[in-house]
Amino acid sequence: MTEKKSAKSDSSKKKSSGSRKSAGSETAKKESHATPLETSPETSDDTSPLEPLGPQPPSTYTGVVLLGWMERDQAVRFLMEDCRFEKPLTESDAEGVWRKWRDRAATLPERQALAPEAVPLTASENAHAARFLQFIGALGVSGVQVVKIDPLQLVVGQYHIAIDVAAAHAARAHDDEGWMEHLLPSSPSNPKLDMNFTRRNFDTEIMIDLPHAEFIFGVHSHGGFGPKEMLGYVMAIRIGNRMMLGKGYHRLYSRISACRGSFPERLSLVALDPSTLTPPPPDTAQAGAASSSHGLEIFGARPAVFADFFTEGLAMPVYLRRKRYQLQVRATWVAINEA
C-alpha cells in the first residue's frame, strides 16, 4: 500500500559583479581604509586563461573563488565538480589552473592580517544590537558580542562566493536599518517549505525542498521533529590576534558590493563569537607543512582575507553549478526480538 501527499510548512525558526582592487601588496592598516575599486597594470597582462568567461551556461551562478588558497585536491575537485566551463576540464587541466593561482598567492608579500579595530556603535546600532542579542538569546545562544568593524580585514576560511546569491541578499536591504536587520536578524524568517510524504505500509519517506542549504532535520523547542533553519547571521571568531569570518559570506559580500567598497560606508555590524581559536604549537613537522603551504593557511604568513574576493589577480571568476537542496528523511518500521 502506497500513500502520497504534499504539504506546505513553516520552518521554526549579485547579480552584482562587485568591485575589485589590484593584487599589489597592502598592509592591514592600509586595507582598513582602502577602497576595492582599483586595477593595477601588474595584473592586467597576467589574467587567467579562462578570462573572460564568455556566455553564461544554463543552471549556473556567476562567482569568484580564491583558488590559490585551496589545497590541490580540494581545488581540482572544486573546478571539476562545482564549476562549469565551455570545455570540461580534465584533472590535469584543473591542476594546471590551480597551480597558476597557487603560485600567485604564494608569492604575495607576508601580511599580518590583524583583527580589525572595533568602531563605536551609534545609538540606532546599539538598539539593533540589543534586539539581535535578545532574539538569539531566546534561542539559547549566549556570550555573543556585537561589534562594528571593517569586514575587508577579516581572515576567511571559505574560498568561493556565488555573486548571484549575494545579489539576492542585496535586493532585500535598501537602507541602514535594512542592512542591520539583514546582517544580524532580530526575528525568524519562517520560509515556506514544500514537503512530499510517501508511505509504503509502515515505512515512511519525506522529501523536503529547501530554499537554501542551511537547514537540518531536528527537534523543535515546542516538541516534535521537523526541518529547522540554522540561524542566518554574520558571525566572526577570534583566531589568535586575527579575526576570521565564520558565516554570512554572501550577506557580507552583498553589503560591501552595495556600497562599492567605500569607507566608512562598508563598516558593518557582526556577531563576535565568544570562543577563540589558537594557533597550534610549533614543531618540526608543522614547520615543514607550513613551508609547503607557503603560509596560506589561516594562521600562516599569507592568509586569505575578505578583501581578496574583490582583488583582480587573486579572485578567479567562475561559473558555479547551481544547486538545489533537500532534506531526505526515511523511517523504516522494524520488528526486533527481545533478548
More confident: 7 or 87? 87
Number of C-beta neighbours around residue 333 at 10 A:
9
DSSP single-letter state for residue 315: S
Confidence tier at 28 by pLDDT (50, 70, 90) = very low
pLDDT at 298: 96
Confidence tier at 287 by pLDDT (50, 70, 90) = low
Q: Which range, 43-57, 200-214, 244-258, is most confident?
A: 244-258
pLDDT at 288: 52
pLDDT at 13: 39
* Minimum mean pLDDT range among 35-44, 293-302, 306-315, 328-337: 35-44
pLDDT at 211: 80
Distance separating alpha carbons of residues 165 and 28, to the nearest angstrom = 28
pLDDT at 172: 73
Residue 132 pLDDT more than 90? yes
Helix, coil or strand: residue 317: strand
Confidence tier at 220 by pLDDT (50, 70, 90) = confident
Query: 290: number of CA atoms within 13 Å, CB side?
Result: 16
Q: Which residues contact 324 (CB under 8 A, 6 or more apart)?
A: 209, 210
Q: What is the mean pLDDT of residues 186-212?
A: 88
* Minimum mean pLDDT range among 81-90, 118-127, 154-163, 215-224: 215-224
Of 99, 324, 55, residue with least CA distance to 213: 324
CA diameter of the chain: 77
Residue 50 pLDDT more than 80? no
Confidence tier at 154 by pLDDT (50, 70, 90) = very high
Number of C-beta neighbours around residue 230 at 10 A:
14
CA 5 to chain centre: 35
Distance separating alpha carbons of residues 298 and 179, to the nearest angstrom = 28
Q: Which helix (H) or strand (E) holds 270?
A: strand 268-277
Q: What is the mean pLDDT of residues 280-289?
A: 62
Distance separating alpha carbons of residues 21 and 312, to the nearest angstrom = 6
3-state helix, strand, coil in the chain (%, to 5): 30, 25, 45
pLDDT in tens, 57-81: 999 999 999 999 999 999 999 999 9
More confident: 81 or 224? 81
Q: What is the mean pLDDT of residues 306-327?
A: 95
Of 47, 38, 1, 113, residue with least CA distance to 313: 47
Q: What is the mean pLDDT of residues 84-92?
A: 93
Q: Residue 34 has which C-alpha cell?
A: 582602502
Cross-strand partners of 316: 65
Distance separating alpha carbons of residues 221 and 139, to the nearest angstrom = 9
Q: Model's pTM, two decimal places?
A: 0.80
Residue 12 pLDDT more than 50? no
Helix, coil or strand: residue 207: strand
Distance separating alpha carbons of residues 204 and 269, to the nearest angstrom = 44
Report the mean per-residue pLDDT for the chain.
84
- The residue assigned the cell 562549469 is 84
pLDDT at 23: 46
Distance separating alpha carbons of residues 65 and 270, to the nearest angstrom = 23
More confident: 190 or 16? 190
pLDDT at 204: 93
Number of C-beta neighbours around residue 196 at 10 A:
14
**Percent above pLDDT 70 for the chain:** 81
Of 102, 107, 105, 109, residue with least CA distance to 25: 109
pLDDT at 192: 85
pLDDT at 291: 58
pLDDT at 286: 55
Rounded to 5 degrees, what are φ and ψ at 63? -155, 175
Task: Please state, in angstroms and as integers, the Cα–Cα distance from residue 247 to each residue in 158, 161, 219, 251, following that order.
Answer: 9, 12, 23, 9
pLDDT at 283: 65
* Helix ranges, the chain (H): 28-31, 41-44, 72-77, 91-106, 123-138, 163-170, 176-183, 249-258, 284-293
Of 153, 137, 157, residue with least CA distance to 145: 137
